[in-house]
Amino acid sequence: MKKIFFILTGITMLFNFNTSLVAKAQAQIAGAEQSERVRYFYDALVPYGEWIWNAQYGWVWSPYNVPIDWQPYTDGHWEYTDYGWTWTSDMPWGWACFHYGRWFYDDNYGWLWYPDTVWAPSWVAWRVSNDWIGWAPLPPEAIWREHMGLEFSDDDEDDFIPWHAFSFCHVNEFVERNIKHHLANRALTITIMKESSHVSHSVKFRNERVVNELPFEKQIVKVVGHPITPRKLVSVNTPEQHGIFGNEVRMFRPEFKVKSQEGKVSNTPRAVPLPLSEKQPEIRNLINQHQIEMQNLEKMHSERQKVLKEEHARELQNPPPGISREQLIEKHQTELKANQEQIQREQQLLQNWHNREERTYTVPNAPPHRAFTIKDEEDKKDKISE
């Protein structure tokens, strides 16, 4: 009996050892492929952001100088092309981060980009109602299978996309050129979500290419009052050549072929020296700057809350049809809570950045980049649906 026990124990240990080797090899291969993907974009994105090691996703990228309440797919507009609804970005790095890879929200850094090498008109999830169209960046868990389409690593994509990741606009404003000026207040998102439905399988593989098909083109045409003719999407050689020229949407969209080295992890991105400044400000000036930024953020939040409460007061005076006063009050409470959550997120983001900036301040002649911008935010008023 003892002999049988030791034999079984030995087999179990051997199985576990082999399983561990397989898992380790798979991890090495995945790491090599991820490093290869980073290489394609590394130099192009260094001037515009910071490469960060994330314990869950590996090397990811954080953009510099975006508003603290910024989120992906808001600086630019939607263009209807022969590839479907295509995001046209105003950012110099938009050719990469809105057409390749995925985005996810991190409590310490804000929105981070996960690199990948398959081009698409956009990588977003959609929601739609009679009045609203909404979109949110797809997370890394949304995996593209060539010739098959998009699938999630788990059962439901809603588990991976937080409500505050969505941007909503009225259907008749969806085709506006500067879409960020037409977005609903972020606090309204949580209640608009309940009124809208998820659009499944919008990113598809058609005619040997990735397209973004939506089922509500007719609804948009009806609301805007004129036909929407698709423009032809044309590839160009550099990001600087992108733009809309007549019936063409010109985009820089290089093709990448990842060649991983099996069992060997590729080199990780090298550290980039921070830019030198002619004169480094004193530490007390940096602390003063942080205090001013926190004050400006408080002003921005105060204005946002004021606008939201004013909208709630108007709704109580003239309630929307089909909703009782009790339901309206409950809706307002939900939106105020959502607004408070957004305020806390932004306060924490700014505090985390200040902490990192003060820690790295000791590097001689090299104050770090500003990750978020607060300037002029006190004059900004979020658009609320009337």
Q: What is the pLDDT of residue 223?
A: 76
Residues 6+ apart with CB under 8 A from 349: 68, 107, 108, 109, 110, 372
Q: What is the pLDDT of residue 336?
A: 95
Residue ranges per structural domain of the chain: 28-252, 283-379
Euclidean distance between CA atoms 96 and 383, whole angstroms: 29
Summarised one tens digit per residue, pLDDT across range 98-153 is 999 999 999 999 999 999 999 999 999 999 998 999 999 999 998 888 777 777 66
Q: What is the pLDDT of residue 381?
A: 43
Euclidean distance between CA atoms 142 and 148, whole angstroms: 13
Residue 158 phi, psi dihedral angles, 5° rounding? -60, -25
Euclidean distance between CA atoms 252 and 257, whole angstroms: 16
Cα 146 to Cα 96, 109, 149, 255, 331: the distances in Å are 19, 31, 6, 14, 42
CA 131 to chain CA mean position, Å = 24
pTM: 0.79
CB 231 within 8 A of CB 244: yes
Q: What is the pLDDT of residue 366?
A: 53
Q: What is the pLDDT of residue 17?
A: 40
The residue ranges of the chain whose pLDDT is under 50 are: 2, 4-30, 260-279, 376-386
Residue with tokens 């003239």: 318
